[in-house]
Amino acid sequence: MNKIIYLSLSLFLTSCYCFNKVSKPDVRFLSQGPKIDLCNMHDKGGNAIQINPYFGFPLQEKMIINSHYKQFTNFQFQQIGQFGIKTEKYIHFISVPFKTLGLGIDVSESFFSFKYQEVPIAPISNFIKVNQTRLMLSASFISLVQKNLIGYFSLQGGKNITNYHNSNSTSSYNNSQNILPNISYRIGYGMHYYIKNLYAFNLEVGYGNAGYVRMGIVKWF
């Protein structure tokens, strides 16, 4: 039954693709700059490249850290968030619903900290600052195009590089105790709301490493 529900939802989302005829200016035509028709992929001379700086929150890593350290005394987790930038180039692909495909890279940094107290014999306090560098390959399948609005499926995968710093110099805690995954992935669905042909607000919700929710801006070139 669940498979039927998921399939029906996917068909509904993709059936929205370019169903609404609207007049210019329209993100499907992007008459300035990229000059590309996102419904029919008629290249009009532009490069169809977009840059998307974003902020991600809350962090998935909180769940992983909590599962390992919440049993310790005075455990606390603090997060700043994820700062990243995604760059993609849109190209021709197969057909609706995958007629327009964006390929690119996503680079980000996540920052958070946690503290806990070990009590084997004498109390040892640990305050751990963590930053993660994340490099992922990115693919976006556009599934919805209307006036001022684009919806897309997002698939990403790549590498995590995690660094720890413990403010307690007497503690044995170091990078060798890394419990966070070295492989990074993300599956999501997002939308761009265009305020001008070349500029848009971005909101994406997904599951995977770093922020569950991403908010940012989009600029086309």
Q: Which domains does the chain have, with CATH numbers?
A: 2-220 (2.40.160.20)
Q: Average of pLDDT values for 128-143?
A: 91
Mean of all residue pLDDT scores within the chain:
77
Integer CA distances (angstroms), 201 to 127, 181, 214, 219, in order: 37, 31, 11, 9
pLDDT at 110: 96
Integer CA distances (angstroms), 154 to 2, 31, 48, 82, in order: 22, 25, 17, 17
pLDDT at 180: 87
Say if residue 212's pLDDT is above 70.
yes
pLDDT at 108: 97
Share of the chain above pLDDT 70, in %: 68
Are 140 and 101 spatial neighbours (Cβ–Cβ below 8 Å)? yes
pLDDT at 6: 58
Determine the Cα–Cα distance for residues 130 and 71; give it in Å rounded to an integer.
Answer: 20
Say if residue 182's pLDDT is above 80.
yes
Q: Work out the pLDDT band at 41, boundaries 50, 70, 90.
A: very low
For residue 17, the 8-state DSSP code is T
Say if residue 31's pLDDT is above 50.
no
For the segment 74-124, what is each residue's pLDDT rounded down to a tens digit?
Answer: 888 999 999 999 999 877 666 555 667 889 999 999 999 998 887 765 577
Q: Any idea which of 18-27, 79-88, 144-153, 174-183 has the lowest mean pLDDT?
A: 18-27
Q: Within 10 Å of residue 123's Cβ, how many Cβ atoms?
A: 10
Say if residue 52's pLDDT is above 90.
yes
